[in-house]
Structure 1
Amino acid sequence: MPGDIPNPPAAPAPVVIPRAEHNISRADISPNALKVLYRLRDAGFRACLVGGGVRDLLLGREPKDFDVATDAHPEEIRALFRNCRLIGRRFRLAHVIFGREVIEVATFRAAPEAETGAAALSDEGRILRDNVYGTIEEDAWRRDFTVNALYYDIADFSVIDYVGGMADIQAGRLRLIGDPEARYREDPVRMLRAARFAAKLGFRIDPPSEAPITELSPLLFDIAPARLFEEVLKLFLGGEALETFELLRHYDLFGKLFPFTEEVLGEEEETDHFPHMLVVHALRNTDERIAAGKPVTPAFLFAAFLWEAMRRRMPDYDVPGMSEIQAIQIAAGEIIAEQARHTSIPRRFSQPMREIWTLQPRFLNRNGRRPQRLLAHPRFRAAYDFLLLRGQAGEVDQALCDWWTEFQQRNPEEQAGMVTPEPRSGRRRRRRRRQRKPDS
């Protein structure tokens, strides 16, 4: 039911794991996070690492970031740190900034109660505001998954567990805190987080937490496209994109993010299968680049997701006055605009997508100076990688991909020998006579 948010037992009795019985070492914690923890502690506040950082340290992984929870209120945190700024309305947070590293500090929160006026739930049970401060016990019970509700207390270096998170880590189990349906209705993005954490950690989703996902997946249509874009970056740029994609499709979540892509993939049995393989190769390529420490861009992945959907929108370019590139430009504008109503795509990514797509027909023209001009295009490398992706998926002839691979490796004289000469027109171009200026 709406508002059915888990509350701690009347007298919560946490499991406290002393320093000697867990593997977290301060040597593995960011020095800046330690500075924040120590300063809060020295000022008389309780301060703990919490969330994914604690979870990853217990699993022997290197955390991407370190979050701190405390009984200090945001204004009190800001008073302690000159390098602090407060952000958010729904969740009032403090960001303590150390150069490029940001340590997020949150005040312990209690479960929101609609009648208080300080926090509110929608009629569907979704959190609208959440600035009700509470105790560490209350804070633990309002978090999403048990494995994310473990606290590393800087006071004595112990790990505090109110909800059975340590047992779930040891069992490789991802379990929601409280009633799963109510928690998903409270924030439907938790369904995406369940798939992401299951793929990232290699955990299985606990059956009661798994059961409602497919039925409740349409709730994602009510989430702001801008927020879903941020979630998509986490889903597919974390190093487990392919596994995450498979889980999202299994739970009928992917189609809520990319409905046009899902429509194409759902018809793959009736086609030559290359749309599905194009997406799979793009995801695998993304994972490989991340594993190798190479840069990745969402534009390339989105171009792969929406390529076939865009092609199906292309108008007939056999009509007079319509080129294939013009047809791509028309279809690209339509599909990107419609996709943005589900998952937004900022212009800094949508524009490179368009260029990757519109350069594809130019790879077919290997006459005269055109290959050299294409090679000099600032988006050539991304477009070439996309061509290789199409070749791997069986959409274009592999010989075309091999030609362009070889062409880049040759010197200018050798490149000139690889291209087809431009056909000479039979008409001789008349030189325009330069007019003389009249004498002044």
Structure 2
Amino acid sequence: MLGKTTKATTSPLVIERGGHTVSRKNISDNALKVLYRLNKGGYDAYLVGGGVRDILLGQQPKDFDIATNATPEQIKALFRNCRLIGRRFRLAHIVFGRDIIEVATFRGHHDNADNKSSVKKDSANKNAKKQHSKQSEHGMLLRDNIYGTIEEDAERRDFTINSLYYSARDFKIYDFANGLADIEKKQIRLIGDPETRYREDPVRMLRAIRFATKLDMKIHKDTASPIPTLAPLMANIPAARMFEEYLKLFLGGKAQANFHLLAENNLLQYFFPQMSQILAANSNKAAIAFIEQVLINTDKRINDGLRVTPAFLLAAVIWYSLEENINALMVGNTMAPQDAFFAAMHEIMAEQQRCVAIPKRFQLPMKDIWILQQKLHRREGAKAFKLLEHQRFRAAYDFLLIRAQVEGGELQELADWWTNFQEASPDTQQQMVKSVRGPRSNSRRRAPRKRRKPSAPE
């Protein structure tokens, strides 16, 4: 039986070349160049983590990460195309045009007071920065530049399936945490005590969910059980990092599955607080049906190889909360519709930004999609033709189609009109526009008042 704590072993399971499916032909040329040069420079170097895992699963790896006993400064000395990044985790990026190979020095344990490790001494660089670490009061690692051995590095990795090391020197796989067995069992399992590992980096809770859906695996019960209780730790994650996690969770073809797993584990509120409240209270069935359909469509587009903008899904998740805010501001007719719209938009975006820092390049398309939902109702005169030329028209039209699919009624009639308008000939378009009644077309014109003749003086 598996215990609550899974440890990496100091004596790894070694799989010879004939016993695994990892081949150099599955590894990018640039990753191989980095491995070979590090080996040639006298350092140990391994392809590690997702690159090994995905090849074993018969998938094409998205990234090829490398772990080595060379320090960042030593790596930089070997590669002219190297740049060092990060304060929290010091990493080396080897740049080949648009392709970047990430190289990390073996991580050590924080209780290594004298920092003894197999990392080679860099006697030439006496002014090298001291290695150090720092933790928050919640146990989260704020800085983590303690270097160690490959065995320590394996223990420091998050999940067993990511603790697999492939050597281009002897073509063997080194398995320190029974990762191969977990791949066969199709389970996601943390290395070490789950609560401690989640406190070190709460984003591991998101990674557990993402790996489970991406790889079609189950989260092991010991790894899954602490997540709902420890979910409040996500409040300590910077909003900018949460946007990066949003991209990984919702633009990887598994948005719908990730959305529901986040909700089940009390994590959705740290991405979308308004939608999380609606979902928990089941207070707006149209909003829930709408976001469900948007998630399905997003996954389909991504899996079909079509382009998806992060702005569309963000606009969809917030839309019904925005409408509620607008209606609340207009109670009693104390505020004009346009003023209420912009006031509500400012308020709800400010709240959303506290959770997920949305870059301006995506905020603007979101706002355009929302504004166009109002303008799509106004089709009289030349307005329909101007809207058709708007750079966000297609996104706003797609948004309207999904709303109409959920709500029906007048929205469906409006969506059908725009569908027919786009497909119509120029002459037919002119007739369609002429047949649209403007805002005052239903009211009769008042007859001009007759001027009273001035009465004769008495």
TM-score by length of 2: 0.87
Q: How far is 1:319 from its partner?
A: 2.9
Structure 1 counterpart of 2:419: 405
- 1:297 correspondence with 2:309: yes
CA spacing shift, 1:320–1:223, aligned 2, 3 Å: closer
- 1:364 correspondence with 2:377: yes
- 1:212 correspondence with 2:212: no
CA spacing shift, 1:421–1:223, aligned 2, 3 Å: closer
Structure 2 counterpart of 1:163: 177
Q: Distance in 2 between matches of 1:115 and 1:319?
A: 68
Q: How far is 1:373 from its partner?
A: 1.1
Kindly provide the amino acid, as one letter, of the partner of residue 62 in structure 2. K
Q: Distance in 1 between matches of 2:299 and 2:20?
A: 31
Q: Distance in 1 between matches of 2:184 and 2:87?
A: 36
- 1:327 correspondence with 2:340: yes
Q: Distance in 1 between matches of 2:46 and 2:174?
A: 9
Q: How far is 1:332 from its partner?
A: 1.1
Equivalent of residue 395 in structure 2, options 382, 394, 398: 382
Residues 76-100 of structure 1, C-alpha deviation per residue, up to 9 Å, x if partnerless?
Answer: 1111111110000111101011111
Q: Distance in 2 between matches of 1:380 and 1:68?
A: 44
Q: How far is 1:183 from its partner?
A: 0.6
Superposed, which structure 2 residues align to 1:24-39 within 5 Å? 24-39=22-37
Structure 2 counterpart of 1:242: 256
Contact 1:7 1:111 in 2 (8 A): no
Kindly provide the amino acid, as one letter, of the partner of residue 288 in structure 1. K
Kindly provide the amino acid, as one letter, of the partner of residue 413 in structure 1. D
Q: Distance in 1 between matches of 2:201 and 2:112?
A: 15
Structure 1 counterpart of 2:205: 191
Q: Distance in 2 between matches of 1:388 and 1:13?
A: 58
Kindly provide the amino acid, as one letter, of the partner of residue 286 in structure 2. F
Q: How far is 1:421 from its partner?
A: 5.4
Q: Distance in 2 between matches of 1:59 and 1:88?
A: 31
Equivalent of residue 367 in structure 2, options 354, 363, 377: 354
Structure 1 counterpart of 2:11: 13
Q: Distance in 1 between matches of 2:347 and 2:386?
A: 28
SS in 1 for 2:407: coil
Contact 1:6 1:141 in 2 (8 A): no
TM-score by length of 1: 0.91
Kindly provide the amino acid, as one letter, of the partner of residue 141 in structure 1. E
Structure 1 counterpart of 2:246: 232
Contact 1:118 1:132 in 2 (8 A): yes
CA spacing shift, 1:73–1:6, aligned 2, 3 Å: farther
Contact 2:52 2:164 in 1 (8 A): yes
CA spacing shift, 1:114–1:89, aligned 2, 3 Å: farther
Kindly provide the amino acid, as one letter, of the partner of residue 334 in structure 1. E
Structure 2 counterpart of 1:41: 39
Q: Distance in 2 between matches of 1:250 and 1:263?
A: 13
Q: Which runs of 5+ in 1 are unaligned?
A: 428-440
Kindly provide the amino acid, as one letter, of the partner of residue 140 in structure 1. A
Q: Distance in 1 between matches of 2:400 and 2:32?
A: 47
CA spacing shift, 1:131–1:6, aligned 2, 3 Å: farther
Equivalent of residue 76 in structure 2, options 75, 78, 85: 78
SS in 2 for 1:44: coil
Contact 2:243 2:356 in 1 (8 A): yes
Q: How far is 1:267 from its partner?
A: 3.0
CA spacing shift, 1:114–1:330, aligned 2, 3 Å: farther
Contact 1:84 1:97 in 2 (8 A): yes
Q: How far is 1:8 from its partner?
A: 5.5
Residues 288-342 of structure 1, C-alpha deviation per residue, up to 9 Å, x if partnerless?
Answer: 111111111111010011111111111218837713x442222111101111111
Contact 1:49 1:66 in 2 (8 A): yes
Q: Distance in 2 between matches of 1:355 and 1:318?
A: 27
Structure 1 counterpart of 2:404: 391
Q: Distance in 2 between matches of 1:319 and 1:99?
A: 58
Q: How far is 1:125 from its partner?
A: 1.4
Q: Which runs of 5+ in 2 are unaligned?
A: 115-130, 447-458
Contact 1:282 1:301 in 2 (8 A): yes
Equivalent of residue 148 in structure 2, options 106, 130, 134: 134
Q: Distance in 1 between matches of 2:314 and 2:113?
A: 43
Contact 1:328 1:357 in 2 (8 A): no
- 1:280 correspondence with 2:292: yes
Contact 1:214 1:251 in 2 (8 A): yes
SS in 2 for 1:110: coil
Contact 2:6 2:190 in 1 (8 A): no
Superposed, which structure 2 residues align to 1:47-126 within 5 Å? 47-113=45-111, 118-126=132-140
- 1:23 correspondence with 2:36: no
Structure 2 counterpart of 1:310: 322
CA spacing shift, 1:113–1:334, aligned 2, 3 Å: farther
Structure 2 counterpart of 1:430: none
SS in 1 for 2:376: helix
Contact 2:166 2:173 in 1 (8 A): yes
For the pair shown, the structure with the greater C-alpha radius of gyration is: 2
Contact 2:369 2:395 in 1 (8 A): yes
Q: How far is 1:33 from its partner?
A: 0.7
Kindly provide the amino acid, as one letter, of the partner of residue 325 in structure 2. R
